[in-house]
């Protein structure tokens, strides 16, 4: 059956965002039938220093095809300084493409953050 397969964040990312002080959702992307795929924005505790906010946004890392898109996400980090300056810390907790999962007959392993689709 053809369908959108949302996998989301790997376990390392899920463990990290458990410390969020607030979350909100947003329409991150569309699935194969133009259905909305919802992502989460995590407002994390603010690091020490002249900082105002620390935000992690769930974004699509890749969406390989396996009877439909398989959506893997990671986190984009932004630190907002008290001056209003926004520092992009880039992508965190990315999935790793690993051909050895094929030998294990797996498409992905959420625990280790590996995929082979």
* pLDDT band at residue 88 using 50, 70 and 90 as cut-offs: very high
For residue 93, give the DSSP letter.
S
Decide: 9 and 73 in contact? Cβ < 8 Å.
yes
- The domain locations on the chain are 5-115
Per-residue pLDDT at 67: 84
Element (H, E) at 5: strand 5-8
> What was the pLDDT predicted at 60?
98
Is 0.85 topped by the overall pTM? yes
Mean pLDDT of 42-70: 95
Say what the pLDDT of residue 59 is: 98
Mean pLDDT of 55-80: 96
For the chain, the helix, strand and coil percentages under 3-state DSSP, each to the nearest 5: 10, 50, 35
**pLDDT single digits (tens) 4-35:** 999 999 999 999 999 999 999 999 999 999 99
Radius of gyration (C-alpha) of the chain in whole angstroms: 16
């Amino acid at each position: 059956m053809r369908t959108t397969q949302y996998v989301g964040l790997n376990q390392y990312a899920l463990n990290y965002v458990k410390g969020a002080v607030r979350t909100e959702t947003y329409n991150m992307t569309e699935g194969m039938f133009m259905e909305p795929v919802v992502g989460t924005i995590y407002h994390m505790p603010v690091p020490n220093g002249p900082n105002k906010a620390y935000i992690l946004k769930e974004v699509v890392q890749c969406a390989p095809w396996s009877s439909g898109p398989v959506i893997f996400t990671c986190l984009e980090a932004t630190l907002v300084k008290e001056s209003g300056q926004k520092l992009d810390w880039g992508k965190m907790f990315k999935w790793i493409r690993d051909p050895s999962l094929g030998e294990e007959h797996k498409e992905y392993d959420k625990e280790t953050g590996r995929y082979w689709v």
